[in-house]
Chains A and B, each alone.
Chain A
Amino acid sequence: MRIVKIIAIILLVAFVGIQFIPTTRNQSDTVPLTDFMLVNNVPKTIQKKLQVSCYDCHSNNTQYPWYNKIQPVAWFLEDHIKEGKAELNFSEWDSLSSRRKASKLRSIVKQIEAGEMPLDSYTLIHKEAVFSEEEAKEVINFMTELKDSL
């Protein structure tokens, strides 16, 4: 039991230690002029849904709950956000060409339709991010119309 105790203490020290390694936070005070909400006429209900369900990983501004500031959860998250933003970044929406926008909108619709987004690992904790049938329909219709208007 003594050795277990020592190992436990070492790991505990390591766990505390890694908390001091700095990570880059995906947070920004300003909303860029290229933001999806600013360049498109997005209804309030859809704005709110996108903020809650998508913007944490697909924009320049993540709302971090306390447990996401703890390592190594924060590292895991950092990676996730990086990947999410590379795929789609709502903050930089208007810097895309019409062709790229159409492609992204297509993917948004398909991902929501198939229930692939938001990710299960995300909705597990963020229950409010889940799309109800009604919400999914609303967002899909909006995105489809936007795509057709490009």
Chain B
Amino acid sequence: MKNLKMSIAAMLLLAVSFTNAQEKKKMNHDHGDMKMDHSKMSTMKSDAKTEAILSDYFNLKNALVADDTKKAAQAGSKLVVSLKAFDTDSYSKENQEELEDIIEDAVEHAEHISESAIDHQREHFKTLSKDITDLVAITGTKNTLYQQFCPMYDKGSAWLSTSKEVKNPYYGSRMLKCGKVQKTIQ
């Protein structure tokens, strides 16, 4: 009987390690897909790559405004891809380092957003917004952007928007209008 108990325990432990290994395989697979997207994107012009990042960022922001976790997660995954596709070659050496640093940080936040609940998504969105703001400060953008600020969320938090009208991504429907335009970026 003792042996039987042992064998059941061993079997369970084996099962756990097998599922673990399978998960790892799946993760590697996803990675491969991402790489394909990367090469597809690299035919685009560098400006277009900034715009692609911004477009994904705004989709993410709008999803958070709408309290839509699922859409925010999807936008987060897309943002990971467009961030990784960014090409720093045409910038000065100093800017290249800064941009690579920004991208690395932003990718991490976007990854977390792609797999988290809404509260956690909003936490990461705050730091992500800082990264994207710093990115645009170097790359510039063809559209006018508005840096908006909500003094209530986490001792004050900013985000970017394409519209002057404030729609708060940190609170969504709970406090949609909280915030003001802090800066216009042209």
Q: Which residues of A contact B (CB under 8 A)?
A: 4-5, 7-9, 11-12, 14-15, 72-73, 75-76, 79, 97, 99-100, 102-103, 106, 110
Contact = CB atoms under 8 A, between A and B. Distances in A.
23 contacts: A4-B4, A7-B7, A8-B4, A11-B6, A11-B10, A12-B6, A12-B10, A14-B10, A14-B14, A15-B6, A15-B10, A72-B13, A72-B16, A72-B17, A75-B17, A97-B101, A99-B102, A99-B105, A100-B101, A102-B127, A103-B108, A106-B123, A106-B127
Instruction: Return the 4 tightest CB-CB contacts between A and B, nearest first.
Output: A11-B7, A8-B7, A72-B17, A8-B3
A34 B127 CA distance: 24
A144 to B, nearest CB: 10
Contacts of B14: 14, 72
B25 to A, nearest CB: 13
A125 B10 CA distance: 20
Nearest to A87: B108
A76 B17 contact: yes
B24 interface: yes
Contact of B20 (A11, A79, A99, A103): A79
Nearest to B18: A72
Q: Which of A4, A11, A12 has its CB near the most chain B CB atoms (within 10 A)?
A: A11
A115 B55 CA distance: 34
B36 interface: no
B101 A103 contact: no
Interface string B4-40: 1011001101101100100010000000000000000
B20 A100 contact: no
Given A11-B7, A12-B6, A106-B127, 14 more contacts: A4-B4, A9-B3, A11-B6, A11-B10, A12-B10, A15-B6, A15-B10, A72-B13, A75-B20, A76-B17, A76-B20, A100-B105, A102-B127, A103-B105
Contacts of A11: 6-7, 10-11
B101 A99 contact: yes
A2 to B, nearest CB: 12
B36 to A, nearest CB: 23
B3 A12 contact: yes
Contacts of B109: 103
Interface of B is mostly: helix
Question: Number of contact residues on B: which range applies?
Answer: 20 to 34
A7 B8 CA distance: 10
A79 B11 CA distance: 19
Contacts of B6: 8, 11-12, 15
Contacts of A72: 13-14, 16-17
A72 B11 CA distance: 10
Contacts of B17: 72, 75-76
Contacts of B24: 79
A72 B108 CA distance: 30
Contacts of B3: 5, 8-9, 12
B68 interface: no
B97 to A, nearest CB: 9
B4 A103 contact: no
A73 B24 CA distance: 17
